Chains A and B, each alone.
Chain A
Amino acid sequence: MPSRPVEAAGDPRHLVMFSLTLREIIQLARQIAPIKSGKTRRKIAIPFAIKTVARNASTTYARITAAQGYKLASLLEPVLPRFNYITTGQKIGGRNNQIKNSIRHIGKTRLIGHIILTMEQAGKKRRGRMIGLNMAMILSTALFACKQPPDSRYIPDTIATEQGLAMMREVGCAACHEIPGIAWPEGRTGPSLVGFDDIGPIAGTLPNTPENLAFFVRNAPLAKPGSTMPAMPLTEEEARDVAAYLYIIDDE
């Protein structure tokens, strides 16, 4: 009997902290140092190599919501200027020259994330460099708190995804779903799976975790009573491979 899908109650693991390397802190400080303190609510974007901002997380998973940003900010409130958002993204167009220039500054890597700070009442006139370093120290612990819980920040390996796709062909998932990578058929009894990486809860119900997805594709009626999707002839391992493929479907 397979275990029931995991119901994620809240998201307690979201604010996991871990520290930057010294080199990264200095780099971060150098980014922050030129920012003038004492201005109120000025938004400043600090670009950063995405590897540093989000480690091996994909851009999607490194994104945090405004609410989470606020939560993060409130942790820092007593210490230093507050920042509202931490975002990452690949495409940063011409509308923000500051960020654009910084992309050039970072040079080799096209992948950048950026931290948008809102400076608020930094108060005392300290030397910029010190503020930069102080903030970098704070960020070095707080910044990485914005990771998703480890098990949903999920980078499936290539073998799993290939086997997953092969299994989907084998059992005929495409009879009901349009699936990128499968040209025929494009069934419409079930929802299209284009852009599945950005989907919300699984089948609109279950928390979007790899275990839940694997459980759902294998035994949908148990995972979501009333679902049109029947149990599929997959082993638990095959179901995990199928879930792995679903997570790399990316329409961007």
Chain B
Amino acid sequence: MSRRISILSTMNSNSGIVEAWWGWPPPVLDPAGPYADSVMVLTWALIGMGAVVTAIVVAALYVAIKGPERLKTKLGGERAVWIGGIAFPGIVLTGLLVWGLTLTASLTHDITGNEMRVRVTGYMWWFDVEYLDESGNVVMRDANELHLPVGKPVVIELASADVIHSFWVPHLSGKKDMIPGRTNLLRIQADKSGRYGGVCAEYCGGPHALMGFVTVAHDARGWSAWWQSRSSERPEAADRHVPGALPAVARNVSLRADSDDLNGRQLFMDSGCAACHRVAGTLANGLAGPDLTHVGSRLTLGAGILPNNRGTMIGWIGDSQSIKPGNRMPSYDMLSAKEMEAIAIWLEQQK
């Protein structure tokens, strides 16, 4: 813990980024599911082949310098160039390519209908997460956190809202780019329950290094409990924002009139938060920032970087620019302590 290197050493243990990069064995060599398994096999095969080729080159170098004259002549001959320089790498690399693509083909299989479907959209610099039903309708929305049941393949539909990002949970699968205007498919599956960190693996500008998320694999019981808690309380209205349209949620204003949270909710609406953040069941329907409908139950804040408690929430609201420089949320330092606290308390209640 105290020996972690560089910036990782200063991040808290709730961070998805630390979980994705750090650990022994390294997360990329510590698969927790079948898709990551095949990636690991490929990794070891490539490392092995690399070692063999290096050994051959070193041996040839030795012969070229100190070897007997007869071998030297052979090594310098045209035949050696044809065999060692063209035929051998050609065959080996083609073989590895075919084998590698076959081995990892399962990662990008088309949707067959047996899988769980989740659409993850990369934004600068966070992940939008939408749980889909079989026909591709959004059932529930979340951000920077991906929950899945153990033992079930999950197809992630990867999209991007701005630049190229890359989705990577080293414990669970390979990495795949999120390209604007395209939908890439990537399968992940966890066979052990637990938490697995994820990161954006393609430089996407500014605070790219602080763009992460947490994947949580639940066992059967945990999964149904989690799903229940998410879907029962606030059924998802079909309220995808159509520009220019009235917010659909207005028909569905289930104001929870706790006098306690009224203040925080009012401040949230009045301070402009609602323009970028959506909270289902309220008038807040902004889509430029992470959906905050369930922010109170998230493990992290700021896209997998901070633990989630009232203190970090206030710190993020008050000066997110000092925490994640360049992120698109302004620092709300014009709010008073009481106002920040009220907003944080209200957000805590959005489970």
Residues of A within 8 A of B (CB): 162, 165-166, 169-176, 181-190, 226-233
Find chain A residues with CB under 8 A from B6 CB: 183
Binds A, one of B11-19, B156-164, B262-270: B11-19
For A168, give the chain B residue with the smallest CB separation: B12
> Given A187-B322, A189-B333, 20 other A-B contacts at CB below 8 A?
A165-B2, A170-B13, A171-B12, A171-B309, A171-B311, A174-B10, A175-B306, A175-B311, A175-B323, A176-B319, A184-B11, A185-B305, A187-B315, A187-B319, A187-B323, A189-B315, A228-B340, A229-B314, A230-B314, A230-B344
Q: Given A169-B12, A170-B13, A176-B315, A228 and B337 touching (CB < 8 A)?
A: yes
How long is the Cα–Cα vector from A188 to B6 in the complex, in angstroms? 22
Among candidates A166, A183, A229, residue contacting B311 with C-beta atoms closer than 8 Å: A229
Chain B 297-335 interface mask (CB, 8 Å, partner A; 1/0)? 000000001110111101110110011100000000100
Please give, as numbers and ranges, the residues of chain B lying within 8 Å of A229 by CB-CB distance: 311, 314
User: Is the Cβ of B340 less than 8 Å from the Cβ of A175?
Assistant: no
Measured between beta carbons, the chain A residues less than 8 angstroms from B319 are 176, 187-189
A169 in contact with B311 (CB, 8 Å):
no
Contact assessment for A173 and B311 in the assembled complex, using a CB-CB cutoff below 8 Å: yes
Take A172-B306, A175-B323 as given contacts and tell me if A230 and B12 are in contact as well, using a CB distance cutoff of 8 Å: no
Contact A171/B307 with A166-B1, A185-B323, A189-B319 known, Cβ cut-off 8 Å: yes
**C-alpha gap A176/B2 in the complex (Å):** 22
Which B residues touch A182, using CB under 8 A? 10
CB distance from B181 to the nearest CB of A (A): 34
Find chain A residues with CB under 8 A from B9 CB: 183
A and B contact pairs by CB, cutoff 8 A, 22 listed: A170-B307, A171-B309, A171-B311, A172-B315, A173-B311, A175-B306, A175-B312, A176-B311, A176-B312, A176-B319, A182-B10, A183-B7, A183-B10, A185-B305, A185-B306, A185-B324, A187-B315, A188-B319, A188-B322, A229-B311, A229-B314, A230-B311
Q: Which residues of A contact B13 (CB under 8 A)?
A: 169-170
Taking CB atoms, residues of chain B closer than 8 Å to A181 are 10
Q: Considering the complex of A and B, which 3 residue pairs feature the smallest CB-CB distances, nearest first? A: A175-B315, A189-B318, A228-B337
Cβ of B261: which chain A residues have Cβ within 8 Å of it?
none
Contact B322 A230 (CB under 8 A): no
Cα distance A83–B322 in the bound complex, in angstroms = 50
A180 smallest CB distance to B (angstroms):
11
